[in-house]
Amino acid sequence: MKNIKVLGPGCAKCKTTYNNVIEALKQTGIEAEVIKIEDIEEMMKYNILTTPVLIIDGEIKVKGRVADVNEIKLLLT
């Protein structure tokens, strides 16, 4: 099972990224644990400056922009 984290303070872009992850998982049937991290101190541990950030299995895949559903599906495979 994949581990996915969406980092962001709760802005519209961060929520859109989270929703796109959920939709991509639905469309692919891939099982994953999805964690939304909104705590600034927790986000600082990842040494990132721009949000939203999409992390899949411990690897930063997208940062500073919204990944669309199709892009996320490609990153999951």
Active site residues: 11, 14
* Calpha distance 65→77 (Å, rounded): 20
- Count of other CB atoms within 10 angstroms of residue 51: 21
* Calpha distance 65→27 (Å, rounded): 21
Cis amide prior to 9 (ω within 30 degrees): no
